[in-house]
Structure 1
Amino acid sequence: MKEIFIERREFLLRIGIREDGKLVESIVEEKKNEPIIGEIYKGRVKNILPAINSVFVDLGLDKEGYLYYSEELKSRDIKKGQDILVEVIKEPLNDKGAKLSSKVSIPGKYIVLTCYEKGINFSKRINDEDKKCEIVNKIELLKDVEITIRTEGANVSIDELQREINKLYEDFKNLDKSMKYSVDIKKLYGEDLSLFKLLRNSIGEELTKIYVDNEVDFQKVGAFINGEENLKLEIYSGVRNIFDFYGLEKELLKLRHNKVNLPCGGYIVIDKTEAMYVIDVNSGKNTKGKNFNKIILETNLEAAKEIGKQIRVRNLSGIILIDFIDMRDRTQKNVVMQQLENSLSSDKGNSRIFPFTELDLVQIARKRQGKSIYEYMEEDCLLCKGCGMILKLSYIEGLVRNEILRIQEGNSIECFYIEIDSVYKERIQGDIFNFIKEIEGLNKEIYLNYVDNIEGFKVEPLIFQSQKDNVARHKVIAIEKF
């Protein structure tokens, strides 16, 4: 059975997917004043620089986006100050703004509508000519949009395709109306893109339970899955975070370790550099009692299978370079490559795998969707000037809050002793009120102690007066809170 967990906070959306009780995918998206891949904006041309073939577009955000000054744009005689419809195809990076495209599309599970185009297209993977003819003859062409049938669209009925076309066409008409009649530059389409994209790609014929933690998402997701009999939607109303209650938080914390053991005795090591992720495959203890070539093949096959899982669950994106153990036999490389492709087959077009190089390196390019676990959970350690990584203070606050709420379940404890690594001391003391607020401690008696070189934090309930007396010097006094 598949389970999908959706946890929303004020500025954060987290989505986790379990299959047969194991976490297989995680998405984290922070709400910022920045564009996200797939969003559609009514922008305004800020500048045109023919020398570098670039058009800079004001999106009404902190940074301008840019798009390629194509022959199509030149033929449209686009001018500075002109309004233009654009789609985000690459998110901002450092000082560089978002990369945009003037070819704008609205995706569904089975079809894609391309705005202000005409006709009908098919995915290159659809080879059934009879099915193509049936679709062309029975699907009515639409004004101002081109219909592209996705690969999975060839496997459903015409009625199912038509229902999705009608739904997406309504989205297009709303977008078109805003483009023509609204004055402001703004986002026109793309609220909760990551959520609905993940739901589209994850929902199949198997029984799936979806858990949400608020009424708004209950209504949104309910409308999205309307009519699907194999989907069960449930709202979680507990005080702890949904990830903590169902054990996903513990599984995510384990992913901070960069070494992953394989059943055969080998292991893989996942490292992040500034430009890419590098995955090294090692034979480890898998060295005895077997033919050397068989050891290499076995280790590489298990590694290829595990790498696909780790890419999804850690949400790695960009360039991923894999250093497999050297294989001289080309047929072995083909088998390993097939295993790697199979392990990423459920990634639904997000990943592109390139062939082996002469050094037995494989490169994967994966589209960015939300944050990796490293971006969300970790930050540079200031004590070692960025050479090491520690858990983000915001993430620690969430973990402390979860632990306090867990201890409180079923009892009336209101006093807590907290130990936290002294690396966080300066920032916490600089805004102690906000820290106490984030851990749900404003109406509680909190004793806070900073300790060198502990792993994260420790929370203990204080039940007896003698316990409080022992840590009295660490009490957060009322004036600090208010």
Structure 2
Amino acid sequence: MSGEVLINLTPMETRVALVENGVLQEALIERSRRRGIVGNIYKGKVVRVLPGMQAAFVDIGLERAAFIHAHEVMPPGTPLDEQQTIGQLLHEGQALVVQATKDPIGSKGARLTTHLSIPSRYLVYMPDSPHHGVSQRIEDERERERLKALLDSSVAEQTLEVTGGFIVRTAAEGVGDEELKGDMHFLLRLWRKVSERKVIATPQSVIYDDLPLFMRTLRDVMRDDIEKVRIDSRENFVKLVEFAEEFMPDAVERIEYYPGERPIFDLYSVEDEIQKALGRKVQLKSGGYLVIDPTEAMTTIDVNTGGYVGHRNLEETIFKTNLEAATAIARQLRLRNLGGIIIIDFIDMNDVEHQRQVLRVLEKALERDHAKTKCTGVTELGLVQLTRKRTRESLEQTMCEACPTCSGRGTLKTPETVCYEIFREILREERAYSAETYMVLASQPVVDRLLDEESAAVADLETFINKTIRFQVEQHYSQEQYDIVLM
């Protein structure tokens, strides 16, 4: 599988596209006014302790206070009988060094932890944990043992004091002794600087800023199957090459400056794919389609055969549609960056073997996802449940806002419904006040209906209250909006 990374940089935002075999798989967006904070380390101030939730709110200098749970304050692996309450761990006004694990999403503040970790290309350093380990995504047992041995020897040979633990990242698969030692030395030097800043930093200030998106992408996404990294900013191309020369020398030759006349995101129709990813409906090549609905509690995905009628029988048609849908769903989760609980309603299959195969295809497709996913199998109702770790806003949350007309409901009251509300309001006003005439201000569709389909009802109402009712179109009114003026 061949891949490319496309990086589009402007003073206002950075956009990154990960393309595999000519198809967009991931789109990352970071706005200069609203940069992601995951990985940043802050010196915060506890502003409220919540014993009922075993949590606290911490001011780290953002618009909304961030949230930290008691288990994120206690040392990792604390035995159950030694665990303390949030009231014993924190008090209001206390200074606390924390790290952001989730960006603020919607109306929720950022999520924090005191279990600090700093990543590099091949390692993650955890200064407060003595544990050494290897990423679970490296499955080859021989490779795991080799990396553990390299890690232990690198720790033993370090000239700087090693107080914490290291986790070997998936990207380290196949690397040698020198690369791990170099990464370890860099992380220990960086931690020394962070430790110095912790002492002098004032509350509600940043102690450590993670890399900007375009460098973070090179560090976290770069794999052997990534053939090119194209960037359309010459200034940042130089920065990226310098960063690669210091930390990822094997990637330098694959980084290219893109001076093309066409916008870089027009390659592989990236711009079009991003626009499609904002819609509910996803067309499948067979003629079937998905309907994706994110809600506050979970995301639901419905699979439909649509125009696909198959060639042999109904069960085979359903099976093929579900197989194609499984691959498409894994891609959409990455592309839209959907997280939390995800419920998939595949088309009902009677054949148990078909169910297993569809589940295997879904799990196989999810293996390429950098976010942690867990599939819990098929429920009694035939639904597939899975969870995907959410650390940043989804593509829709980054690019869109709730519709001001329907307040995010996705539906509007019909003109008929609004007409009947107006009739009831006029009767209410008539009982409370005395007016000669009523002037109804409403949108064009509502006034049109009042003068046409509901004209008989309007005449009956005028007769009943013995008053004249007039209508006036207000072009800037939404369909649900109206006012009744007493004259």
Per the normalisation by structure 1, the TM-score is 0.71
**Residues 86-138 of structure 1 deviation map (CA, whole Å, 9 limit, x = unaligned):** 11122324443222111011123432111233352233455337425522542
Question: Is the 1:380–1:388 Cα contact (8 Å) retained in structure 2?
Answer: no
- Report the secondary structure of 2:45's partner residue: strand
Q: Hey, what's the Cα distance between the residues in 1 that align with 2:291 and 2:148?
A: 49
In the alignment, what sits opposite 2:9?
Answer: 8
Q: Choose which of 293, 309, 315 in structure 2 pairs with 1:271.
A: 293
- Report the secondary structure of 1:354's partner residue: strand
Deviates more, 1:268-277 or 1:192-201: 192-201
| CA deviation after TM superposition for structure 1 residue 84, in Å | 1.9
In the alignment, what sits opposite 2:228?
Answer: 209
Question: Is the 1:2–1:19 Cα contact (8 Å) retained in structure 2?
Answer: yes
**Residues 150-198 of structure 1 deviation map (CA, whole Å, 9 limit, x = unaligned):** 3453532222222222222232222111112333532222334644443
In the alignment, what sits opposite 2:154?
Answer: 139
Task: Quickly say closer, same or farther: Cα 1:103–1:214, change in 2 above 3 A.
Answer: same
Q: Hey, what's the Cα distance between the residues in 1 that align with 2:408 and 2:31?
A: 23
- Give the alignment of 1:425-440 within 5 angstroms: none
| CA deviation after TM superposition for structure 1 residue 21, in Å | 2.7
- Which consecutive unaligned segments of at least 5 residues does structure 1 have? 390-450, 453-482
Deviates more, 1:68-77 or 1:280-289: 68-77
**Residues 259-310 of structure 1 deviation map (CA, whole Å, 9 limit, x = unaligned):** 3333333222223334333211112333343133322221111110111122
Task: Quickly say closer, same or farther: Cα 1:215–1:154, change in 2 above 3 A.
Answer: closer
In the alignment, what sits opposite 2:126?
Answer: 114
**Residues 312-340 of structure 1 deviation map (CA, whole Å, 9 limit, x = unaligned):** 22332333221111123333222111111
Residue type of the alignment partner of 1:88: A
Aligned residues: 391
Question: Is the 2:4–2:227 Cα contact (8 Å) retained in structure 1?
Answer: yes
Question: Is the 1:34–1:62 Cα contact (8 Å) retained in structure 2?
Answer: no
Q: Hey, what's the Cα distance between the residues in 1 that align with 2:152 and 2:300?
A: 49
Q: Hey, what's the Cα distance between the residues in 1 that align with 2:401 and 2:9?
A: 22
Question: Is the 2:24–2:268 Cα contact (8 Å) retained in structure 1?
Answer: no
**Residues 442-478 of structure 1 deviation map (CA, whole Å, 9 limit, x = unaligned):** xxxxxxxxx99xxxxxxxxxxxxxxxxxxxxxxxxxx
In the alignment, what sits opposite 1:17?
Answer: 18
Deviates more, 1:378-387 or 1:219-228: 378-387
In the alignment, what sits opposite 1:373?
Answer: 395
In the alignment, what sits opposite 1:418?
Answer: none
In the alignment, what sits opposite 2:343?
Answer: 321
Residue type of the alignment partner of 1:228: D
Task: Quickly say closer, same or farther: Cα 1:35–1:382, change in 2 above 3 A.
Answer: closer
Q: Hey, what's the Cα distance between the residues in 1 that align with 2:238 and 2:190?
A: 18
Q: Hey, what's the Cα distance between the residues in 2 that align with 1:265 and 1:77?
A: 57
Q: Hey, what's the Cα distance between the residues in 1 that align with 2:338 and 2:126?
A: 29
Per the normalisation by structure 2, the TM-score is 0.71
Question: Is the 2:47–2:57 Cα contact (8 Å) retained in structure 1?
Answer: yes
Residue type of the alignment partner of 1:335: Q
Task: Quickly say closer, same or farther: Cα 1:208–1:154, change in 2 above 3 A.
Answer: closer
Task: Quickly say closer, same or farther: Cα 1:49–1:316, change in 2 above 3 A.
Answer: closer
In the alignment, what sits opposite 1:479?
Answer: none
Q: Structure 1 vs Structure 2: percent identity of aligned residues? A: 32
- Which consecutive unaligned segments of at least 5 residues does structure 2 have? 76-83, 412-474, 477-487
In the alignment, what sits opposite 1:301?
Answer: 323
Residue type of the alignment partner of 2:228: K
| CA deviation after TM superposition for structure 1 residue 85, in Å | 1.7
Q: Hey, what's the Cα distance between the residues in 2 that align with 1:313 and 1:133?
A: 34
Q: Hey, what's the Cα distance between the residues in 1 that align with 2:206 and 2:197?
A: 10
Q: Hey, what's the Cα distance between the residues in 1 that align with 2:52 and 2:29?
A: 38
- Give the alignment of 1:68-467 within 5 angstroms: 68-70=69-71, 72=74, 74=84, 78-124=90-136, 127-128=141-142, 130-131=145-146, 134-135=149-150, 137-141=152-156, 142-192=161-211, 194-206=213-225, 208-226=227-245, 227-228=249-250, 231-236=253-258, 242-244=264-266, 247-368=269-390, 370-383=392-405, 386-388=408-410
In the alignment, what sits opposite 1:419?
Answer: none
| Rg larger for | 2
Q: Hey, what's the Cα distance between the residues in 1 that align with 2:402 and 2:151?
A: 55
Residue type of the alignment partner of 1:140: V
Q: Hey, what's the Cα distance between the residues in 1 that align with 2:45 and 2:402?
A: 37
| CA deviation after TM superposition for structure 1 residue 143, in Å | 2.2
In the alignment, what sits opposite 2:428?
Answer: none
- Report the secondary structure of 2:377's partner residue: coil
Q: Hey, what's the Cα distance between the residues in 2 that align with 1:29 and 1:211?
A: 17
Question: Is the 1:118–1:145 Cα contact (8 Å) retained in structure 2?
Answer: yes
Task: Quickly say closer, same or farther: Cα 1:94–1:308, change in 2 above 3 A.
Answer: closer
Task: Quickly say closer, same or farther: Cα 1:133–1:18, change in 2 above 3 A.
Answer: closer
In the alignment, what sits opposite 2:427?
Answer: none
Question: Is the 1:214–1:235 Cα contact (8 Å) retained in structure 2?
Answer: yes
| CA deviation after TM superposition for structure 1 residue 62, in Å | 1.8
Task: Quickly say closer, same or farther: Cα 1:130–1:372, change in 2 above 3 A.
Answer: closer
Q: Hey, what's the Cα distance between the residues in 1 that align with 2:8 and 2:109?
A: 29
In the alignment, what sits opposite 2:417?
Answer: none
In the alignment, what sits opposite 1:458?
Answer: none
| CA deviation after TM superposition for structure 1 residue 254, in Å | 3.3
Task: Quickly say closer, same or farther: Cα 1:51–1:316, change in 2 above 3 A.
Answer: closer
Task: Quickly say closer, same or farther: Cα 1:382–1:197, change in 2 above 3 A.
Answer: same
- Report the secondary structure of 1:293's partner residue: helix
Q: Hey, what's the Cα distance between the residues in 2 that align with 1:89 and 1:130?
A: 29
Question: Is the 1:27–1:369 Cα contact (8 Å) retained in structure 2?
Answer: no
- Report the secondary structure of 2:350's partner residue: coil
Residue type of the alignment partner of 2:94: Q
Q: Hey, what's the Cα distance between the residues in 2 that align with 1:352 and 1:32?
A: 33
Q: Hey, what's the Cα distance between the residues in 2 that align with 1:310 and 1:154?
A: 27
In the alignment, what sits opposite 1:448?
Answer: none
